[in-house]
Amino acid sequence: PSLNTIQVIQVKQDLIPGDVITEDVIQSATISAESYNQITLGGTNIYQYNRASSLIGKYATAYIPTGQYLAYNNVASAYTPPKNPWEGLRDCPSGR
């Protein structure tokens, strides 16, 4: 890679919250340094490919469609699913 390009992590398939990141679901993508800087200045920090090995085994925390770059705010070491909004409804006296 040259100084004008940056290798980032791109997903090869849709990821939904709770999916584990594996080597099979990510790949390297080369983008221009200008594009990388625009994305970063827009408030989205995306992972460079040299960090790929540190992300294996972590969890997606948001829906990430195929072809998107992996962003810092979409990855976590642990995943706790959101509370089920229908949980406990059958215990309601009215049944609603």
Model confidence pLDDT, tens digit, residues 56-76: 999 999 999 999 999 999 999
Scanning the structure block, which residue is given the tokens 């992972």? 47
Q: Which two tokens stand for residue 49?
A: 């490919």
* Chain CA centroid to CA 1, Å: 24
Confidence (pLDDT) at 49: 97
Scanning the structure block, which residue is given the tokens 């800087």? 37
DSSP state letter for 83: P
pLDDT of 1 over the 80 cut: no
Q: Which two tokens stand for residue 48?
A: 């460079």
% of the chain with per-residue pLDDT over 90: 78
**CA pair distance 7, 70, nearest whole angstrom:** 12
% of the chain with per-residue pLDDT over 70: 90
Query: Is-contact 6 33, C-beta < 8 A?
Result: yes
**pTM of the predicted structure, to 2 decimals:** 0.81
pLDDT of 31 over the 70 cut: yes
| Sequence-ordered strand ranges (E) for 1-96 | 5-11, 26-32, 59-60, 75-76
Range scoring the smallest mean pLDDT among 51-55, 61-65, 87-91: 87-91
The CB density around residue 81, as the number of other CB atoms within 10 Å, is: 7
